[in-house]
Amino acid sequence: MLHTVNKSPFEKDSLAACLRMSKDGCAILLIEDAVYAATDGTAVSDQIKEAMKTKSVYALKPDVDARGMSGKVIDGIELIDYAGFVSLVADQNSTQSWL
């Protein structure tokens, strides 16, 4: 299953809800303002790193670049482009959007 999150983890609890209600082995894609959750040294970095032990975490590169965060992404988070986004959706049996 694929989970997408598009809200900043500092403004809404969408990421926290996603992490709480997603299962091991799932894919989590951070898009739009949620890409801030993919950066290191923040108040939520440890939550993401913990999730990465059992789940695959991706971030949409165009959104990371637009926000000037490309040099701060946590090691191990895979950056994907729009084509990668489509592939991820197509490869999974279902998608849940945490808005």
Give me the residues that bind other proteins (CB under 8 A), please: 6-8, 10-11, 32-33, 36, 39-43, 45, 61-63, 65-72, 81
| Interatomic CA distance for residues 39 and 75, integer angstroms | 9
Here the tokens at position 46 are 């440890």
Q: How far is the CB of 63 from other proteins (least distance, A)?
A: 6
Q: Whose Cβ is closer to other proteins: residue 25's or residue 41's? A: 41
| Interacting residues of 16 by C-beta distance below 8 A, sequence separation 6+ | 9, 47
Q: Whose Cβ is closer to other proteins: residue 40's or residue 95's? A: 40
